[in-house]
Amino acid sequence: MRLVMKFGGISVADGDKIRHVANLIKDFKDRKTEICVVISAMHGVTDRLDEASKAALKEDKTDGLTRFVRELSDQHHKAALDSIDDEAILDEVLSEIDARLDEMEKALIGICHLGELTERSMDYIESFGERLSVPILSGVLRSIGVDSEPMLGGKVGIITDDVYRNARPLDITERTIQERLLPILGDGITPVVTGYIGETKKQIITTLGRGGSDYIATIIGAGIGADEIWLWKETEGIMSADPKMIPGARRIPAISYIEAMELSFFGAKILHPSALEPAMRNLIPVRVKNTFRPKDPGTIITREPEQKKDVVKAITLIKNVALINISGPGLVGSAKVSAQVFSTLADESVDIIIISQGSSERNISLVVDGPHLKKAIKALKNGFDKGTIRDITYNKDVCALAVVGAGMAGVPGVAGRIFTALGKREISVIMISQGSSEHNISLVIEKKDSRVAIDVIHNEFSLGK
């Protein structure tokens, strides 16, 4: 059997937990399983690297940067010391950590002196989270008898475009992974690969966006022809709602690729929005499991869900969004104007989450990411004259709620049940959108109603435990 295992739940400097993960991998290796491991940075490190790079831009002295590097060094040295017993391997790992930290410190000092921070530089700085954690787990594996090699994403074949901060793999990636990784796996070596990062054809480091380690795992899975891809996390699996908002949320035993992709796109943080594409294209099952409860079944993601009787599977919420309303006489009967609206926003890299247009064609409503609101409004105002678009209004006090389930396809009355349930609690729906696939009904409501709305719908479709 050939597996890809991605670990995101060991992101703390805790020797016991790192050894637990290593022993879990060894257990599967002892069953003659070929395994490629993908690992994330330690908890909070990527955020701290992001903050450090921005602080370096404002620093006129390097004292703060030196202190940050020392703290990061202490954290990773402790993780290695607590989890690796073999002195020779430990020395090798500590030397690798020190070399990476020295490289990172020089880059931060360079930003400080130049007073310039580009997206390319930010990708480079943030890549050190994974580049520091990978040698540690690989070292632990070797110390317990598992032949292992730490590898950068670019080295295994994650070749991307140069859209820094949100890079996408090129068409050659899966073939390159196959050529580079299969011989290593065939030799009985377990690669431990950096999640989140790849590189361009010119070997410049890129990142695939937050949560990109899942994406790296599924790309590798597709490249090596894995039997399954296991995403180990600190959760039971994919849940029917955010347990922090709905304590009665339950684990979903089985879900389809399409349903899981809809949930990830609409704010469910358990998966990267693009992570399932390689698995779905190659029909590779994906399991979401709890790192520290390995016997639990978790959630399996396949082409067809096992429980087809469920009309609605889950509810998810995107809080930080804004609603833009565009109206004007130029919108009536003019497909070119609508196309120009979307191309204008695309040119500014504004992510559009939901689109709705009235039958009169006098109004287009868009839901965009909250951080993109200002540049979206500016681009629209600069791109059209008053004769085409008369009014551009926006509302930041909204959220987008998605009700997801393949069982909704062809089942009448689902939207009616949602509106009735919300109406009983006097919750107004500002905007609604349903795709032709019928796997998702998206609503825009006032932010203040979000918690009650999720609870009401969750109860309406009996999604709780």
We report the CATH number of the domain holding residue 443 as: 3.30.2130.10
Q: Is the pLDDT of residue 255 over 90?
A: yes
One-letter amino acid for residue 321 of the chain: V
Q: Is the pLDDT of residue 361 over 60?
A: no
Number of domains in the chain: 2
Nearest-5° angle of CA 432, CA 246, CA 308? 65
What average pLDDT does range 68-94 have in this prediction? 96
Q: Among 234, 265, 299, where does a domain finish? A: 234
* Residue 331, in any domain of the structure: yes
How many other C-beta atoms are found inside a 10 Å radius of the C-beta of residue 423? 12
Nearest-5° angle of CA 56, CA 60, CA 63? 70
Asked if residues 316 and 323 have their Cβ atoms less than 8 Å apart, the reply is no
Q: Residues near 214 by Cβ (< 8 Å), separated by ≥ 6?
A: 6, 8, 195, 231, 271, 272, 275
Asked if residues 18 and 85 have their Cβ atoms less than 8 Å apart, the reply is no
Same-domain check for residues 213 and 336? no
What average pLDDT does range 65-85 have in this prediction? 94
Nearest alpha-carbon partner for 428 in 409, 407, 447? 447
* Residue 340, in any domain of the structure: yes
Same-domain check for residues 347 and 208? no
How many other C-beta atoms are found inside a 10 Å radius of the C-beta of residue 371? 12
How many other C-beta atoms are found inside a 10 Å radius of the C-beta of residue 365? 20
* Residue 295, in any domain of the structure: no
Max CA separation in the chain (angstroms) = 75
Nearest-5° angle of CA 290, CA 294, CA 299? 50
Same-domain check for residues 175 and 30? yes
* Residue 122, in any domain of the structure: yes
Q: Among 234, 266, 298, where does a domain finish? A: 234
What tokens does 164 get? Answer: 């820094």
- pLDDT value, residue 390: 79
Does 178 or 350 have the greater pLDDT score? 178
Asked if residues 426 and 464 have their Cβ atoms less than 8 Å apart, the reply is no
Q: Distance between CA 430 and CA 415 in Å, rounded?
A: 14
We report the CATH number of the domain holding residue 36 as: 3.40.1160.10
Same-domain check for residues 321 and 230? no
What average pLDDT does range 73-99 have in this prediction? 96
The mean predicted confidence, pLDDT, of the chain is 90
* Residue 264, in any domain of the structure: no
Q: List, edge to edge, every strand of the sheet that includes 363-369.
A: 352-357, 363-369, 314-327, 391-404, 440-446, 429-434
Same-domain check for residues 222 and 125? yes
Same-domain check for residues 347 and 228? no
What tokens does 444 get? Answer: 């825009």
Same-domain check for residues 55 and 167? yes
Cα pseudo-dihedral 381, 386, 388, 389, rounded to 10: 50
* Residue 276, in any domain of the structure: no
128-156, pLDDT tens digit by residue? Answer: 999 999 999 999 999 999 999 999 999 99
Q: Which pTM was predicted?
A: 0.90
Nearest alpha-carbon partner for 214 in 5, 17, 33, 47? 5
Q: Among 209, 234, 259, where does a domain finish? A: 234
- pLDDT value, residue 384: 80
* Residue 305, in any domain of the structure: no
Same-domain check for residues 339 and 211? no
Range(s) of the domain holding residue 428: 314-460
Q: Residues near 176 by Cβ (< 8 Å), separated by ≥ 6?
A: 157, 159, 223
Does 3 or 262 have the greater pLDDT score? 3
269-305, pLDDT tens digit by residue? Answer: 788 878 999 999 999 999 999 998 999 999 999 987 6
Same-domain check for residues 199 and 340? no
- pLDDT value, residue 436: 58
- pLDDT value, residue 334: 61
What average pLDDT does range 375-384 have in this prediction? 90
Same-domain check for residues 339 and 225? no
Residue where the block lists tokens 């497909």: 335
* Residue 247, in any domain of the structure: no
